[in-house]
Chain A
Amino acid sequence: MTTSSTTLAAGGSPARGKRFPTHSPMERVRRRVFWPFVLPALAGMVIFYFAPIVFVAWLSLNKWSGFGPMRFVGTANYQQLWLDPTFTTSIVNTFKILVIVGVITFVLAFALTLVLRQMTGKHFVRSVLFFPNLINALIFAIFAGMLFNPNGLVNTALHWVGITDAPKWLAPDNQFTLIMAILIWSSTGYFTSIIMSGVDQIPPYYYEAASLDGAGPIRQFFTVTLPLSWDVVSVCAILWTMSSVKVFELILVFGGTRASSPNSQNWTTAIYVYLSAFQANAGRAFGLAAAAALVSLALVAVLTLGLRRLLRREAIEL
Chain B
Amino acid sequence: MTSVTRALTTAGSRRRRTLRSSGSKTGVAGWIGRAMVWLVVAFNIFLIAWMVVSSLRSTVDYLRQPLGLPVPPHLENYANAWTIGDFGVAFLNSASVTLISAFFAVAIAAPAAYALSRSTRWIAPKITAAFALGLGVPGQVLLIPIYIGLAQVQQNTGIPLIDSQLGLTIVLIGLNLPFTVFLLTGFFASLPGEIEEAAALDGASGIRTFVTIMLPLARPGLTTAMTLAAIGSWNETLFSLVLLTDKSTRTLPIALIQIMNSAAFNGADWGSIFAGMTLMVLPLLIVYTWLGRRIVAGMTVGAGK
Contacts and interface: CB of A to CB of B under 8 A. Distances in A.
A and B bind: yes
Interface of A: 1-2, 5, 19-20, 24-34, 36-38, 40-42, 44-45, 47-49, 51-53, 55-56, 59, 66, 111-112, 114-116, 118-119, 124-136, 138-139, 142-143, 146, 151-153, 156, 185, 190, 193-194, 197-198, 201, 203-209, 211-212, 216-218, 220, 232, 235-236, 239, 242, 245-246, 248-249, 252-253, 256-260, 269-270, 273-274, 277-278, 286, 289-290, 292-294, 296-297, 300-301, 304
A207 B8 CA distance: 11
A135 B40 contact: no
Nearest to B172: A48
B280 A136 contact: yes
B70 to A, nearest CB: 16
Interface residues of B, number: 115
B197 A232 contact: no
B139 A156 contact: no
B157 interface: no
B109 interface: yes
Nearest to B54: A146
Given A249-B253, A277-B144, A48 B171 contact: yes
Given A38-B127, A153-B67, A235-B302, A273 B237 contact: no
B125 interface: no
B177 A41 contact: yes
Given A130-B296, A204-B15, A300-B137, A253 B257 contact: yes
Contacts of B134: 45, 49
Contacts of B209: 29
A38 B116 CA distance: 7
For B20, B109, B296, the residue with the greatest tally of chain A CB atoms inside 10 Å of its CB is B296
B28 interface: no
A248 B238 contact: yes
Contact of B193 (A26, A143, A290): A26
B201 A270 contact: no
B112 A40 contact: yes
Contacts of A28: 200
Contact of A66 (B131, B148, B231, B261): B148
Contacts of B197: 24-26
Contacts of B65: 156
A269 B197 CA distance: 50
B235 A256 contact: no
Contacts of B136: 242, 300-301, 304
Interface of B is mostly: helix
Interface of A is mostly: helix
A194 B151 CA distance: 40
Contacts of B137: 49, 53, 297, 300
A118 B143 contact: no
Interface stretch (B30-38, B80-88, B218-226): B30-38
For B137, B146, B256, the residue with the greatest tally of chain A CB atoms inside 10 Å of its CB is B137
Contacts of A116: 37
B8 A208 contact: yes
State the 9 A-B residue pairs at the shortest beta-carbon distance, nearest first: A48-B174, A33-B206, A52-B145, A41-B112, A37-B115, A26-B200, A197-B304, A37-B111, A115-B33
Given A208-B15, A235-B303, A270 B263 contact: no
Contact of A297 (B138, B149, B203): B138
A98 B134 CA distance: 20
Interface string B23-51: 10110001001100110110011010011
A256 B260 contact: yes
Contacts of B114: 37
B141 A52 contact: yes
Nearest to A46: B130
A34 B112 CA distance: 8
B168 interface: no
B35 to A, nearest CB: 10
Contacts of A142: 256, 260, 273, 277
A105 B118 CA distance: 37
Contacts of A297: 137-138, 141
A127 B124 CA distance: 36
Nearest to B238: A248
26 contacts: A1-B201, A1-B203, A26-B197, A26-B199, A29-B204, A33-B205, A38-B127, A41-B181, A49-B142, A52-B146, A111-B33, A118-B20, A118-B30, A127-B292, A131-B285, A134-B295, A135-B280, A135-B281, A152-B66, A193-B299, A197-B303, A246-B139, A248-B238, A252-B257, A253-B260, A301-B136
